[in-house]
Amino acid sequence: MKPFKFGQPIANWLLRLTLVAYLLLLNFEKLYPINLNSPGFYFAAAFALFALALLLGGFLSKQTLTVFSGLAISILSTYFFIKGFNGTLTFASLTNVIPAVLGFYFFSRGNKS
């Protein structure tokens, strides 16, 4: 059976939308209420900013915004995975692996379908 090649652009947009929704929901509690004295607020704001930039980058003809946002999401998620890793792979630690992998996907693919 051959792959469904016409579905690839749809799959890319579904990945993009799912990553944005996941990051916004994952970080929403740290964003509201606004606490400018908390480093967690700034990390959550960075996640939200890069997630929205990733979504916006999909509408642009140049892929620079998508690539940069994917790199930033990948680096931030990898940092939080390493920071929270206690020696065993758990569901809680995978909450940071999935965005890191998807961020790397958009870093390496850009807007290509």
**What pLDDT, on a 0 to 100 scale, did the predictor assign at position 1?**
86
pLDDT at 92: 83
Residue 77's pLDDT is: 96
Closest alpha carbon to 51 in 78, 15, 14, 21: 21
Q: Are 105 and 70 in contact (CB under 8 A)?
A: yes
pLDDT tens for the 113 residues of the chain, in order: 888 888 999 999 999 999 999 999 999 999 888 899 999 999 999 999 999 999 999 999 999 999 999 999 999 999 999 998 888 888 888 899 999 999 999 999 998 86
User: Is the whole model's pTM more than 0.85, yes or no?
Assistant: yes
Position 32 scores a pLDDT of 86
Distance CA 96, CA 43 (A): 13
CA distances from 25 to 18, 28, 59, 93 (A): 10, 5, 22, 16
